[in-house]
């Protein structure tokens, strides 16, 4: 069965991009009929013998050994998949190679930490800057827990999947999500106005009626969008209502 580290990787991966049934697999799970899925950075192989996640990154070697056979080699394992047709093998080969390229696009060393923005129940948040483009973002850092059912990890995964599916002007935009051996990283747009709690505190809680109406209207629209998407927002508080440089609402967390 999968290790805790592999399960954490699966939880952090986006929902399946591709899936199919392979005729046969020769790997750590033995030789049998299996189901395989392509997730963000992983080929997930599941059968009666268990589940394993095969990383697809710059160190993985992808080889087409035969008309219907595809081999994935990593530093600690070799997985050979036999597909039902040449066309299906070719489709998977191209998709895995594209995922391999995508896996190497962003990593922690691509960003410079400017300062700490805050800390919450899920982890710490830092203001970071892309070393190449100069773009700023808010980076949430969640420590991986040895317990795969940890609340923080589950919440981080839920937040990542939801933000990835959202596209709304009053909800923070997810830019990147990646991980290291011990941490999960999620980068969202940086909101220069800070959170609503500090915004009100800086003004001694004296805010014009016009500003209050605008904030409430945008907040209601954001919540309506979330709920219509099938999710329920259960942590509404001033600290989770961010404001961009123009004072517009960006719902977070």
Tokens of 126: 């830092």
Tokens of 49: 């013998």
Known binder of ligand: residue 140?
yes
Strand duo 18-27 + 30-39: pairing = antiparallel
Nearest to 28 by CA among 77, 72, 63: 77
* Catalytic option among 145, 147, 235, 253: 235
Cβ neighbours around 207 below 10 Å, total: 13
Distances (CA, A) of 170 to 111, 174, 228, 230: 25, 12, 14, 17
Is 235 among the catalytic positions? yes
Tokens of 166: 């959202």
Binding residues for ATP: 140
Q: Among all residues, which ones are annotated catalytic?
A: 235
Binding residues: 140
């Amino acid at each position: 069965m999968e290790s805790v580290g592999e399960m954490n990787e699966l939880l952090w991966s986006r929902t399946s991009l591709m899936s199919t049934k392979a005729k046969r697999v020769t790997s750590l799970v033995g030789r049998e009929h299996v189901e395989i899925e392509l997730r963000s950075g992983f080929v997930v192989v599941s059968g009666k013998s268990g589940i394993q996640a095969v990383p697809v990154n710059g160190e993985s070697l992808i080889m087409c050994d035969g008309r219907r056979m595809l081999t994935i080699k990593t530093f600690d394992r070799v997985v050979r998949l036999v597909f039902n047709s040449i066309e299906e093998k070719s489709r998977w080969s191209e998709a895995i190679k594209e995922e391999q390229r995508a896996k190497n696009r962003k990593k922690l060393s691509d960003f410079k930490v400017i300062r700490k923005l805050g800390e919450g129940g899920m982890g710490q948040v830092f203001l970071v800057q892309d070393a190449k483009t100069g773009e700023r973002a808010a980076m949430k850092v969640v420590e991986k827990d040895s317990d795969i059912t940890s609340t923080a990890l589950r919440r981080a995964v839920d937040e990542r999947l939801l933000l990835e599916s959202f596209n709304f002007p009053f909800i923070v935009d997810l830019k990147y999500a990646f991980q290291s051996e011990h941490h999960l990283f999620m980068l969202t747009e940086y909101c220069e106005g800070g959170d609503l709690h500090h915004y009100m505190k800086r003004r001694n809680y004296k805010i014009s009626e016009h500003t209050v109406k605008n904030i409430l209207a945008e907040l209601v629209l954001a919540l309506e969008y979330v709920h219509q998407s099938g999710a329920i927002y259960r942590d509404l508080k001033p600290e989770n209502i961010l404001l961009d440089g123009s004072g517009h609402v960006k719902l977070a967390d």
